[in-house]
Amino acid sequence: MSIAKTAGLANIIAGSTVICTVGKEGKGLSYRGYSIEDLSSHACFEEVAYLLLYGELPDQETLNQYKNKLQANRQLPKKLKTVLQALPKSSHPMDVLRTATSTLGCIEPELAFTQQHDIADRLLAIYPSMLLYWYHYHYSNKEIETDSNHDNIAGHFLQLLKGETASDLETKVMDISLTLYAEHEFNASTFAARVAASTLSDFYSAVTSAIGTLRGPLHGGANEAAMELIKQFDDVSIVVRKLEDMLSRKEKIMGFGHRVYSIGDPRSPIIKECSRNLSKETHNESIFSISEAIENKMWSDKKLFPNLDFYSASAYYFMNIPIPLYTPIFVCSRITGWAAHIIEQREHNALIRPGAEYTGPDVRAFVPMDQR
């Protein structure tokens, strides 16, 4: 048997899926056959979530019923509130979501796989409540109500965060952002979820595995790092010189290039236009100009294109979203993709257990303690 020697399983086919196509012709992305361009332009995030979880786009009546179901699932159990209050203010928000997911799995356990769609919908509905209840309890010294008058997750999230209704543009951009982050085939966190699901573990354990994987800075967190980078530049005039200094020191510039896409990330132009529009609405066009200057320099020097994370950073910044919440927003979106893959894995399950090439010492004689 030949061993494929490749870093991080790159270019290794680890399974089949009907959920998502990534990287066709070096750039394409589709969810169940629908292009990301069409979905982000014409569908709301709840339509996309339904598509991923149930296989087809909903008609209007079905969409209304689905939104009502999600609205009814936003409330936090009292025991979960107690846990969120007990978690330290210093906790990483991703750790909060990981712990809250495990806690909910104890309070509302999966007793049979027939519950999996209801659990997926419950997590989709409750993640903004989990995150922002904890955030406001520790950073605003108040216990917020986790319901709102919004029937969409984007507006609901922003209202819980801000305590007031966001602008129409902010709500639209957040909705598009959730669609763009919803699914991306066998990425690290999704694969982790499928590995856990392949053992016939419960739904919450598979999702918790995914959150723990997304927490790593080489997977999630690039949008946070991108914003920290952008904030280092006071003016567009210093971008070229300072970026050259950083590149000469071989510093990693987050938000550029992609493991799968070779030509460009199809999501990037979409979120870039969103960021541009928000910069105009908030009269903060210098941040956008700096971002664009960084993009131009990275392309001219390294031929690296911005990925989704780069302009998502400034889009979130223009909406006054705290930087530590950027990756948790990823969770609020990607739960749809994770859940779809967990369900798919269970439908045609085989334990995921790859082999490894051993590169250690040959068989050795045991050395007694007094001879070591």
Q: What is the domain partition of the chain in residue ranges?
A: 20-217+328-347, 222-318
pLDDT tens per residue, range 218-268: 888 888 999 999 999 988 999 999 999 999 998 888 888 777 777 889 999
Cα distances (Å, whole numbers) of residue 10 to 112, 116, 196, 307: 35, 31, 20, 18
Q: What's the pTM? A: 0.93
Asked if residues 46 and 332 have their Cβ atoms less than 8 Å apart, the reply is no
pLDDT tens per residue, range 168-220: 999 999 999 999 999 999 999 999 999 999 999 999 999 999 999 999 888 88
Name the active-site residue from 117, 136, 138, 219. Answer: 219
Q: Report domain 20-217+328-347's class.
A: mainly alpha
CATH code of the region 222-318: 1.10.230.10
Burial class (CB in 10 A: 0-12, 13-18, 19+), 371: exposed
**DSSP secondary structure, 269-286, as one string:** HHHHHHHHHHHHHTT-HH
pLDDT tens per residue, range 69-81: 999 999 999 999 9
Q: What rounded mean pLDDT belongs to the chain?
A: 93
**Phi-psi domain of 226 (left: phi exceeds 0; alpha: psi -120 through 50; beta: other):** alpha
Q: Is the fold of 20-217+328-347 the same as that of 222-318?
A: no
Task: Give residue 1's pLDDT.
Answer: 38
pLDDT average, residue stretch 43-50? 98
pLDDT tens per residue, range 109-156: 999 999 999 999 999 999 999 999 999 999 999 999 998 889 999 999
pLDDT average, residue stretch 300-324? 94
Q: Which residue has the higher pLDDT, 325 or 1?
A: 325
pLDDT tens per residue, range 9-23: 666 667 789 999 986
Asked if residues 131 and 97 have their Cβ atoms less than 8 Å apart, the reply is yes
Catalytic site includes residue 309: yes
Long-range contacts of 153-159 (CB under 8 A, 24+ apart): 153/45, 153/46, 153/70, 153/124, 153/125, 153/128, 153/178, 153/332, 154/45, 154/178, 156/74, 156/128, 157/128, 157/132, 157/329, 157/332, 158/319
pLDDT average, residue stretch 155-167? 96
Q: How far apart are CA 286 and CA 300, in angstroms?
A: 21
**DSSP secondary structure, 250-262, as one string:** T---TTB--SS-S
With tokens 């045609």, the residue in question is 348
Name the active-site residue from 156, 258, 265, 341. Answer: 258
pLDDT band at 2 (very low <50, low <70, confident <90, very high): very low
Catalytic site includes residue 258: yes
Catalytic site includes residue 235: no
Q: Which residue has the higher pLDDT, 47 or 251?
A: 47
Q: Strand, helix or coil at 28?
A: coil
CA atoms within 13 A on the CB side of 10: 8
